[in-house]
Structure 1
Amino acid sequence: MTMSSETPQRLYLLQLGTSTVPGAGRTLEMVLGCYLVETSNGRHILIDSGLPADAPLPPGAVPSARGKNVIEQLGDLGLRPDDIDILICTHFDPDHAGYHDAFTKAELIVQREHYELARSGHPRFATIRAHWDHPALRYRLIDGDTELLPGLTLLETGGHTPGHHWDHPALRYRLIDGDTELLPGLTLLETGGHTPGHQSVLVRLPKSGAVLLAIDAVAVQRLFTPDRQAWPFDDNEEQLRASTRKLLDVVEREHVALVVFGHDGQQWQTLRRAPDYYE
């Protein structure tokens, strides 16, 4: 089977835990999670790696349930870190990049703008730098929206964004610029605003159809409106709104069947979570 014919076949949602965060007049139940794509070639693509044990939660957040970490959950699926071929880095916040340094056999794909900002010493990404900035990790840098493979698209959604877990000499990064088709059916979409160079992921599955992983461009469903407000952890409200409008357009244009919001505890209760999957 050629690379061009490789497409996504299964999508696993890995729920790593939950925390409660005080919001505007309410307390929000927030999910911590990451994602696994299995391709028709038998390759495994991980999207984010979750919060490490040595990283603090955001100010005001209280852990309500700490589940199995990404390595343990992969183990439940019969996989080891070395079985991951590609690690898509949506951004380097601690709850998304905390175990990157475990995946030294994978190629890591990140928006160039985001990687260079993090490597510049920005304090937001400093606390878990060793987990993402490692010499054994291979990064591919992208710029903007990128189709990784047929049915899997990364969407750049900057605006929101710390880093020893990601800044490790064993990590191999591929830097991309903007929207990028990684494989037919897997596209990375630049969605800055939460952080510069944030990206979302569009996955097209054979039975479920198009699934949009909004990640932190739209953390909860009630924010999926053109005039939405930014949260304290978001970097740029104007960019965030532009990215939200972009994702709303993607939903209509690509006939998206499911939008998964990055931290929406209420929504995640209704979703299929590993070991169950979408196909």
Structure 2
Amino acid sequence: MDTIALGDVEITRVVELPARGGARQYIFPDVPVEHWEAHENWLAPTFLDPAADEVRTMMQTWLIRSQEGRTILIDTGIGNDRERPAMPSFHHLHTHYLDELTAAGVRPQDVDTVICTHVHGDHVGWNTRRADDGEWRPTFPNAQYVISRADFDYWNPANGHRTRSGPRMANVFEDSVAPVHRSGQTVLWEGDHYDIDAQLRIEPAPGHTPGSSVVWLRSGSDRALFAGDLLHSPLQIVEPDDCPTFDEDEPRARDSRRRVLGEAVDRGALLFPAHFPGPGAVEVRRVGDRFAVKKWAAWR
């Protein structure tokens, strides 16, 4: 179990699915192959499989525990038993995610807060699990689920929004968001920030979805940034204008990516994207109007 300490906070990586490849042309259809070839020497083999022409990603979430005893989960993965007809790799999935959480020393009832960086099927799935009566119930019965109101409204089928993701989001709101809202456990935040506590602040970073957000951690002199899907591949550190097919609004996503990467440099923050395999977290530096890897995380 990968763990790192920042100040008086412990961060643990909880893996739902290990690293795997996805077709480069599916994930990044509009990114020139020359961008990948120019950086193949350091992207391969951890983040890129040139022979298979695949981008390697991982399904993971972040567990935060402080000395004050708070237990916070950032994103909840894909979930089991989902009907995801347009996303075959998520369809009727069965993983041991809750066992991995238990191995990290946390039971579902121990979680105080669930932060959803955005509403996509691979970030809200374990918000719920299917009960014996077939209904979807909150997985974390004592937790507040913090979700941006912009995403809640955008993905609510009752509002009839036409989205780029279309069928890929079928059933996600109904089985993974609506049940925790009906249970009275959601906090729908809006504005320029939302403070979880003195150490954790959520800030908007729209583009990937209208309500996409990042989570800043401050503990002593240490800083961390949980970036959700601001980045799908380290390529986007050096090519921040490159967008995956999953970005709802590419111009806003580019603006958010450049702004947040710059803030990470300025604050000396360790960056935790949602899907990086291997070292998983990274410090970045400026190189002209772009960025580069400064140092990968050292786990224990």
2:176 aligns to what? Answer: 131
Where 2:211 maps in the other structure, the secondary structure is: coil
Superposed displacement of residue 225, structure 1: 4.5
Letter in 1 for 2:227: A
After superposition, residues 216-255 of structure 1 pair within 5 angstroms as: 216-225=229-238, 227-255=240-268
Where 1:228 maps in the other structure, the secondary structure is: coil
2:47 aligns to what? Answer: none
Q: Distance in 1 between matches of 2:65 and 2:170?
A: 31
Report which stretch shifted further, 259-268 or 54-63.
54-63
Q: CA 1:15–1:205 in 2, change beyond 3 Å: closer, same or farther?
A: farther
Alignment of 1:265 with 2:293, yes or no, is no
1:109 aligns to what? Answer: 146
Superposed displacement of residue 266, structure 1: 4.0
Superposed displacement of residue 241, structure 1: 0.6
Greater than 3 Å deviation, 4+ residue runs = 55-63, 120-126, 269-273
Q: Percent identity?
A: 22
Q: Distance in 2 between matches of 1:221 and 1:213?
A: 15
Deviations 1:190-216 (A, max 9, x none): 111111101111222447x21212110
2:195 aligns to what? Answer: 181
Deviations 1:48-89 (A, max 9, x none): 1111123449758699xx8631x2122112321111111101
Q: Distance in 2 between matches of 1:31 and 1:40?
A: 29
After superposition, residues 72-151 of structure 1 pair within 5 angstroms as: 72-101=99-128, 102-121=139-158, 123=166, 125-128=169-172, 129-134=174-179, 137=180
2:80 aligns to what? Answer: 53
Superposed displacement of residue 261, structure 1: 2.3
Q: Distance in 2 between matches of 1:189 and 1:210?
A: 15
Q: CA 1:218–1:227 in 2, change beyond 3 Å: closer, same or farther?
A: closer
Letter in 2 for 1:20: G
Q: Distance in 2 between matches of 1:15 and 1:67?
A: 10
Q: Distance in 2 between matches of 1:45 and 1:171?
A: 18
Count residues with an aligned counterpart. 232
Deviations 1:22-72 (A, max 9, x none): 104520111001111112320101111111123449758699xx8631x21
Letter in 2 for 1:68: H
Q: Distance in 1 between matches of 2:13 and 2:228?
A: 12
1:196 aligns to what? Answer: 210
Identify the structure with the greater strand proportion. 1
Deviations 1:144-191 (A, max 9, x none): xxxxxxxxxxxxxxxxxxxxxxxx522511111132232222111211
Q: CA 1:60–1:232 in 2, change beyond 3 Å: closer, same or farther?
A: farther
Q: CA 1:227–1:92 in 2, change beyond 3 Å: closer, same or farther?
A: closer
Superposed displacement of residue 125, structure 1: 3.9
Tell whether the 8 Å contact from 2:210 to 2:248 is kept in structure 1 after alignment: yes
Letter in 1 for 2:208: H
Q: Distance in 1 between matches of 2:8 and 2:196?
A: 11
The structure with the larger Rg is 2
Identify the structure with the greater helix proportion. 2
Report which stretch shifted further, 102-111 or 179-188.
179-188
2:22 aligns to what? Answer: 21
Where 1:31 maps in the other structure, the secondary structure is: strand
State TM-score, norm by structure 1: 0.73
Structure 1 gaps of 5+ residues are 1-6, 138-167
Letter in 1 for 2:188: L
Letter in 2 for 1:222: L
Where 2:252 maps in the other structure, the secondary structure is: helix
Where 2:105 maps in the other structure, the secondary structure is: coil
Q: CA 1:62–1:40 in 2, change beyond 3 Å: closer, same or farther?
A: closer
